[in-house]
Structure 1
């Protein structure tokens, strides 16, 4: 049986994978979709072929003979997309780590290397499979050389297979004749000029009849159609050149040793480390444990109370001038124990002898768990520096007060790499050069902490050791990293104090009147039922309004409404489609109202009811490491997304109430992002408009539309408001035209007039884009960095999106930073002045305080002072402040 060799056209497969998969980037901002797709094709081929030998050939950037021939007729090769070009050295690095033979030689393209190796290997008795996205290679096919052409899709990889007989069956010509067909028809992708006026069908017919371009030329007078005869005569030299360009060299002057191509162990430690770095998590299960566990650290299990006390005493002494790392192991609020490290090699897990229920919200703990936490709290109090994963949870459990010594590795990594979705310890270890550590899942599987601790103690101690080692050892690395990136102050003075403010807010939660929420839900149900009947009456039949398919049939087939958009699954009933019809068709307006009310009922009225804790309050979780701009988000439930656009939506705020003897105070920044824009751009006209206390939207309308301020109508002001806020978000003329229901030309004129009115804003925004193009970063006033990999995309729409990010992130991010500063200062003032009032919520530009009735004026003063002076800008920060007996009244 003949042995087999697989040959891969490196650039071609990388190119196929790049355009077949959506863009992917890892934490470092490296584009990885082409590499990921390439590897999936590689593994699929290897599993199918089971070859003994493997080689990947690449083009080189030095001019080849084909480049010189292109120059002869002034052909131009399209430049490679930047994000694809960046992945070429990356795939080579991966292949080298896997021990795969790479071939490239100056002066030759990959085709010629593949052609030469394939021909030689076939002559030496090997079966050959050539993997390429380039159909030029079909000319190599014979009974022992198979050409395989993969197509990368989101659903997987499909491969077309061609031996010589398959080429004839598909294209009517032999592999060698395939060259002549291409010489006649040309190929713009490969800059092969061909013969003008001869397409694929004519070229195929001519070669089927005459066998070659030379024989066709000998019969040029009798060629059909006449156009082919005329053009082949006129462009004969171009046809000859095209054939030479299309012909793959099979005797290239290359040095190739088959032994070096023998397949060995692909799944090496080096490859595993690279796959982890590139975040190819779906491919990691291909590696066995010898590759996965590059390094590991062990935690010592302590179950004796006296030993635990001795270790805590030693830790207290050792960390007075040094670092303490800790982690509280808890599951469903059951404290299982405490893991501590007071040196890289001194890590211990102190198991709670009596596991008790721990409520984060009412300070209730039981027996040994409480005692253990109290002892840990004393060690923390005396330590010079303290590092902990999930620090916010520990703050809530032990009621820790803020000190500058605290460090959370997740937040440090978030500042360095804000585009990631999560920040597990193994990624942090990798990013800080601490080694490749196995994940929790790789160490323990899906076993719960309590079960693993009991039944798989050894592996659990390894998991804790890896986590704790990372928590301890990464601190010095991040301190240098943050210093180098000029984000040390941002981390120490904003993000870390914020952990304690958020912990306090989550611990307090917000009181909800459950009965009123139930009544609100019932009110919505009644309105939804009325809308259903009205919609059915207009439609003339009952149907499932929630079904886009059924709704589409009713609206666009039965009722014959205009502007129907057909999709694969039926008619589009997306909001943007329906909103254009709502003014003229009452049924559509009612459908949109129905959707709003059902969303209100399911997400808020019914959804919030399930989130009320035993203390009658909802305790949301504020996420500090989710958004790329630095904004906070809220989850379980999301209290930052309470509806405000329709009155019925706003009414839900009535169910949020203060405790007896308290009142709500709500303070909202006025146009903070526009004020930030005025400051950062330095535009005198916009600054002056704010300083003269003009209504900014009226002032903008007056300047942009050249009318006196007293003649600005509400509609014109609304248009100016849309332009003002649209500019902050890098709005396009198309986007503005959609928002204002005007023509694109009118919208473009509005934007042009705006920039003429505020010229420094245009200069500033253009400068932000230029800086981001050069640095691939958008940076806030406080030094927060947001990578913008979209700017290097080969896709025009992606680059446009990147430009909007470059314009908006510094403004939105700076506004978010200012609000964080205000939150911290307000919270710290309330505590410093020993008030019973507390900060409960932050909703983007808004802070909500539950104020003790007697402290109301003092709270208002604190809010005013701290929010208005959170940043010193060239325009005043202003707030709107209201109080009330529920959130609706206060807002």
Structure 2
């Protein structure tokens, strides 16, 4: 049986994949959709063909004779999109790591290389499969050379296959004659001009009859239709040039020993590392992780020692206390501590099982002793605190938080992410080693996987700690990390421990009230629609609105009409049913997410102990999950009313402290605009002043509506709002909105200069920074896509302001938390929501805490304008705010 050679047209398949796969970027902002699509096609072809040889050909930048000939005729060639251009070296990295030969030859296109090798392979007795998106290569098809043309639609790849007889059947000409067809009809994507007025149908008919352009011209008086005759007569020279452009060279001086292309193991350690770095996670399951990990372990000679006796543990902790750095991470299952993974050097990891004399109390005591003597690196310090609640220490180093500062666009900071990103090592993730099994079950059934998991937990943070510190210092974020982010971990932990009390019956009553509202709203909607239907079904709702009620502005999607909030908001003035649907959705969301959803989070102590995350948002804001208490709606009364169910302990009150217009004050400080700074220093109503100056109205004649408009402009500027966005917000024309924005910048010229500078810096540096040095990368600014670039510009304008506000709030939380403990108070922070802190305060401490909050929060930053805090108290969260 003949051996098989597969040849891939690199640029062509990459191009097809780029346009066939939706936009995809990794956490570093690199576009990867073309690489992803290319590999999908490659692996599919290999599975189907089962070849013995594989090679990929690419065009090179040096112009070929075709480029020169075409450019002389046409002038220029369409440039490759930047998002595709940046993926060419990426796919080459992957192929090189897989051991696949990459073929390039200055002066020759990939077509010529592929055609030459295909002919050589056929001559050597091989079956050849040539994969390309370029139909020019159909001219190479024979009984032993198959041209496969993949098409990617919606991420699904289908392939058309052409041997000699398939070309004849599909086009009515032989593969050799196909050159002449292509020359006559032309192909702008392949830079073949063709003959004007001759399309594919006419070109095929001519060559089917005359077999070549030259023979057709020799019988020019017989050529039909007359239009084609005239075109060929007048443009014969162009037809001949097009034929030269269309003809593939099959004798290119390409040097390749077929044995160098013999297909080996594609799934190498190097390939895993490249794909892991590019975050092409769906391909990683193809690799034999156990073999790779075994090789890595043999190379590193990392050993795991299990310690379960007291005397052995005592000796270990004595030795650990003498080291300049140790790494530790809890090993847990379902919130239960199983043990500690600890590393004291790069070659050894110890596992201290939490059993017998090695109790939680013992391990906690020993960790606290170590934290007084040495540096402790951990993957996730807050996880340690949840299980052992060790004392606060400046000696802890959270590797996950450090990695987040260096790249806040990622969605995870696990040990495998850190190993890949900072020391160039590929280690299997937790899910790959443990799957969905319990840790102890894996220890019993797959001890090798358990050992690798435990070793990675400690070995990785120990190894990456130095690299992280080095990069934090190089990027100017070391102080941000040590003075803000690390102390914040302990404050957030105390907040999570405290939780917030919820009146369960009041929450249930709130749910019942919403259920009544939802039912009533359903009946109103049915009456307006003229029949009952599933309001929650976008398909059925779309049919009601657009097919039956004939509302304008219908937008068709694959599954029906779009009924998104944006679409419905524009339709509110058109028909009363639209506003009712929007209200229904609000009430239904309140009921499902809050009235019903929050009930499941209430612990036995009657409190909700949520999670506060500091590595989720790109701007540095703290986020809240399980449940999200930061997203409780406050714009409508019934939404705000849910705050009534959050109450303090008996004998306590809630004290709420909220920064007033902190982002606008930061804008004034960072821009240095004199008028904006002066307005704040004089403690004037900034929105009223802006209205007066922008709309040229005396201060005492500013109406509530003008003030609202000015407020929308003030806050819109912070978020880089466009004239279109402002016109939507204020229900005015885009022209009016543009004039508002222009007048604003004329009033505060320093703001315009500042925002323009931020965008320029973002484009030059690739990131922008807060007052405290926090970086926000903006890869979108390099995009060729206008919408993506515009988004990047808004991010560049907003992130330094919003990020600085986040930094100030974190500083304030740390100051307040420390002051409460320093002054020996029982009061505690229980919630942080954007610019607001909520504290649970014993009645006798209320006045002292209110004064403490104002003092510590207003002095959290020293800006050109004073920070202002509104402090209130109440018997529930609603009345306290």
User: Fold-level match, TM-score > 0.5?
Assistant: yes
Instruction: Tell me what 1:524 maps to.
Output: 514
- CA separation in 2, counterparts of 1:584 and 1:17? 43
Q: 2:581 aligns with which of 584, 591, 600?
A: 591
Any conservation in 2 of the 1:272–1:292 contact (CA below 8 Å)? no
Cα–Cα, structure 1 residues 196 and 869, in superposed 2: closer, same or farther, change >3 Å? farther
Any conservation in 1 of the 2:28–2:410 contact (CA below 8 Å)? no
Q: 1:860 aligns with which of 838, 850, 855?
A: 850
Cα–Cα, structure 1 residues 371 and 821, in superposed 2: closer, same or farther, change >3 Å? closer
Any conservation in 1 of the 2:116–2:250 contact (CA below 8 Å)? yes
Q: 1:119: how far off? A: 1.8
Any conservation in 2 of the 1:393–1:503 contact (CA below 8 Å)? no
Q: 1:300 aligns with which of 296, 300, 305?
A: 305
Any conservation in 2 of the 1:294–1:437 contact (CA below 8 Å)? no
- CA separation in 2, counterparts of 1:223 and 1:75? 31
Q: 1:582 aligns with which of 572, 581, 590?
A: 572
Any conservation in 2 of the 1:76–1:191 contact (CA below 8 Å)? no
**Deviation larger for 270-279 or 109-118:** 270-279
Query: Quick check: 1:8 aligned with 2:13?
Result: no
User: For residues 87-128 of structure 1, what are the alpha-carbon distances to aligned partners after superposition, in whole Å with 9 as ceiling and x for unaligned?
Assistant: 222222221221111111111111111111112222332211
Any conservation in 2 of the 1:298–1:462 contact (CA below 8 Å)? no
Q: 1:292: how far off? A: 4.5
Q: 1:294: how far off? A: 4.3
Any conservation in 2 of the 1:97–1:271 contact (CA below 8 Å)? yes
**Per the alignment, in what secondary structure is the counterpart of residue 31 of structure 2?**
coil
- CA separation in 1, counterparts of 2:40 and 2:566? 38
Any conservation in 2 of the 1:509–1:840 contact (CA below 8 Å)? yes
Instruction: Tell me what 1:118 maps to.
Output: 118
Instruction: Tell me what 1:352 maps to.
Output: 354
**Deviation larger for 559-568 or 62-71:** 559-568
**Per the alignment, in what secondary structure is the counterpart of residue 341 of structure 2?**
strand
Q: 1:816: how far off? A: 1.1
Cα–Cα, structure 1 residues 538 and 34, in superposed 2: closer, same or farther, change >3 Å? closer
Any conservation in 2 of the 1:77–1:190 contact (CA below 8 Å)? no
Q: 1:30: how far off? A: 3.1
Q: How does 1:397-476 map to 2 (within 5 A)?
A: 397-433=387-423, 435-476=425-466
Q: TM-score, with normalisation over the residues of structure 1?
A: 0.94
Q: 1:310 aligns with which of 307, 315, 319?
A: 315
**Deviation larger for 248-257 or 752-761:** 752-761
User: For residues 863-883 of structure 1, what are the alpha-carbon distances to aligned partners after superposition, in whole Å with 9 as ceiling and x for unaligned?
Assistant: 212222222222222222221
- CA separation in 2, counterparts of 1:371 and 1:774? 53
- CA separation in 2, counterparts of 1:35 and 1:292? 25
Q: TM-score, with normalisation over the residues of structure 2?
A: 0.95
Unmatched 5+ residue regions in structure 1? 355-366
**Deviation larger for 29-38 or 410-419:** 29-38
Cα–Cα, structure 1 residues 432 and 561, in superposed 2: closer, same or farther, change >3 Å? closer
Instruction: Tell me what 1:327 maps to.
Output: 329
Taking only aligned residues, the RMSD between alpha carbons, in angstroms, comes to 2.1
**Per the alignment, in what secondary structure is the counterpart of residue 597 of structure 2?**
helix
- CA separation in 1, counterparts of 2:283 and 2:658? 48
Any conservation in 1 of the 2:57–2:114 contact (CA below 8 Å)? yes
Cα–Cα, structure 1 residues 335 and 70, in superposed 2: closer, same or farther, change >3 Å? same
Any conservation in 2 of the 1:298–1:466 contact (CA below 8 Å)? no
- CA separation in 1, counterparts of 2:241 and 2:276? 47
- CA separation in 2, counterparts of 1:178 and 1:751? 60
Any conservation in 2 of the 1:396–1:504 contact (CA below 8 Å)? no
**Per the alignment, in what secondary structure is the counterpart of residue 850 of structure 1?**
strand
Q: 2:813 aligns with which of 813, 823, 829?
A: 823
Any conservation in 2 of the 1:434–1:473 contact (CA below 8 Å)? no
**Deviation larger for 208-217 or 34-43:** 208-217
Q: How does 1:771-782 map to 2 (within 5 A)?
A: 771-782=761-772
Instruction: Tell me what 2:147 maps to.
Output: 147
Q: 1:457: how far off? A: 4.2
Any conservation in 1 of the 2:20–2:155 contact (CA below 8 Å)? no
- CA separation in 2, counterparts of 1:157 and 1:17? 9
**Deviation larger for 834-843 or 770-779:** 770-779
Query: Quick check: 1:513 aligned with 2:514?
Result: no
Instruction: Tell me what 1:199 maps to.
Output: 199
Any conservation in 1 of the 2:309–2:358 contact (CA below 8 Å)? no
Q: 1:434: how far off? A: 6.4
Any conservation in 2 of the 1:293–1:436 contact (CA below 8 Å)? no
Instruction: Tell me what 2:292 maps to.
Output: 291
Query: Quick check: 1:567 aligned with 2:572?
Result: no
- CA separation in 2, counterparts of 1:765 and 1:211? 65
- CA separation in 1, counterparts of 2:574 and 2:99? 67
- CA separation in 2, counterparts of 1:621 and 1:876? 32
Q: 1:728: how far off? A: 1.9
Q: 1:702: how far off? A: 2.6
Q: 1:832 aligns with which of 810, 814, 822?
A: 822
- CA separation in 2, counterparts of 1:828 and 1:716? 43
Any conservation in 2 of the 1:298–1:464 contact (CA below 8 Å)? no
Cα–Cα, structure 1 residues 266 and 684, in superposed 2: closer, same or farther, change >3 Å? same
Any conservation in 2 of the 1:352–1:372 contact (CA below 8 Å)? no
- CA separation in 2, counterparts of 1:200 and 1:755? 57
- CA separation in 2, counterparts of 1:751 and 1:605? 41
- CA separation in 1, counterparts of 2:371 and 2:123? 77
Q: 1:137: how far off? A: 1.3
- CA separation in 2, counterparts of 1:558 and 1:35? 45
- CA separation in 1, counterparts of 2:675 and 2:210? 77
Q: 1:221: how far off? A: 4.7
**Per the alignment, in what secondary structure is the counterpart of residue 189 of structure 2?**
coil
Instruction: Tell me what 1:22 maps to.
Output: 22
- CA separation in 1, counterparts of 2:229 and 2:542? 55
**Deviation larger for 335-344 or 268-277:** 335-344
User: For residues 62-84 of structure 1, what are the alpha-carbon distances to aligned partners after superposition, in whole Å with 9 as ceiling and x for unaligned?
Assistant: 12112211331243112222232
Q: How does 1:683-702 map to 2 (within 5 A)?
A: 683-702=673-692
**Per the alignment, in what secondary structure is the counterpart of residue 697 of structure 1?**
helix
- CA separation in 2, counterparts of 1:381 and 1:416? 25
Cα–Cα, structure 1 residues 705 and 143, in superposed 2: closer, same or farther, change >3 Å? farther
Query: Quick check: 1:377 aligned with 2:382?
Result: no
User: For residues 556-602 of structure 1, what are the alpha-carbon distances to aligned partners after superposition, in whole Å with 9 as ceiling and x for unaligned?
Assistant: 22333333333322222221222222234222221111111010000
**Per the alignment, in what secondary structure is the counterpart of residue 393 of structure 2?**
coil
Cα–Cα, structure 1 residues 661 and 579, in superposed 2: closer, same or farther, change >3 Å? same
- CA separation in 2, counterparts of 1:123 and 1:370? 73
Q: 1:27: how far off? A: 4.2
Any conservation in 1 of the 2:130–2:145 contact (CA below 8 Å)? yes
Instruction: Tell me what 1:271 maps to.
Output: 271
Instruction: Tell me what 1:362 maps to.
Output: none
Cα–Cα, structure 1 residues 404 and 756, in superposed 2: closer, same or farther, change >3 Å? same
Q: 1:730: how far off? A: 2.0
- CA separation in 1, counterparts of 2:22 and 2:806? 30
User: For residues 420-457 of structure 1, what are the alpha-carbon distances to aligned partners after superposition, in whole Å with 9 as ceiling and x for unaligned?
Assistant: 11111122122222632232333344321122334444
Any conservation in 1 of the 2:181–2:200 contact (CA below 8 Å)? yes
Q: 1:368: how far off? A: 5.3
**Deviation larger for 521-530 or 327-336:** 327-336
Cα–Cα, structure 1 residues 742 and 647, in superposed 2: closer, same or farther, change >3 Å? same
User: For residues 736-776 of structure 1, what are the alpha-carbon distances to aligned partners after superposition, in whole Å with 9 as ceiling and x for unaligned?
Assistant: 22222223333233323322332232222222222222222
Cα–Cα, structure 1 residues 162 and 736, in superposed 2: closer, same or farther, change >3 Å? farther
Instruction: Tell me what 2:130 maps to.
Output: 130
Instruction: Tell me what 2:486 maps to.
Output: 496
**Per the alignment, in what secondary structure is the counterpart of residue 473 of structure 2?**
helix
**Deviation larger for 232-241 or 8-17:** 232-241
Q: 1:636: how far off? A: 0.5
Query: Quick check: 1:98 aligned with 2:88?
Result: no
- CA separation in 1, counterparts of 2:213 and 2:735? 53
Query: Quick check: 1:337 aligned with 2:339?
Result: yes
Q: 1:785: how far off? A: 1.6
Instruction: Tell me what 2:47 maps to.
Output: 47
Q: 1:640: how far off? A: 0.4
Instruction: Tell me what 1:811 maps to.
Output: 801
Q: 1:293: how far off? A: 4.1
Cα–Cα, structure 1 residues 242 and 476, in superposed 2: closer, same or farther, change >3 Å? same
Any conservation in 2 of the 1:194–1:239 contact (CA below 8 Å)? yes
- CA separation in 1, counterparts of 2:304 and 2:37? 39
**Deviation larger for 447-456 or 529-538:** 447-456
Cα–Cα, structure 1 residues 733 and 191, in superposed 2: closer, same or farther, change >3 Å? farther
Any conservation in 2 of the 1:31–1:87 contact (CA below 8 Å)? yes
